Structure 1
Amino acid sequence: MTDDVDAECERYDELIKEAGGVDIQVLGIGNNAHIGFNEPTINFEKGTHLVQLEDSTIEANSRFFDNIEDVPKKAITMGVGSIFKSRKIMLIATGENKAEAIYNTVYGKVVPEVPASILQFHSDIVLILDKEAAKLLKEEDYKIA
Structure 2
Amino acid sequence: MAIKNYQGKQAAPEKPESSPMLVKDYMTTDLITFRENENIMDVAEKLLKHKISGGCVVDEKNNLLGMISEGDCMKHVSDSQYYNMPLEDTTVGKRMNCNVETIDGNMNVIDAAKKFIEKRYRRFPIVENGKLVGQISQSDVLRVATKQKSNNWHL
Same fold (TM over 0.5): no
Structure label with greater radius of gyration: 2
TM-score, length-scaled by structure 1:
0.25
TM-score, normalising length from structure 2?
Answer: 0.24
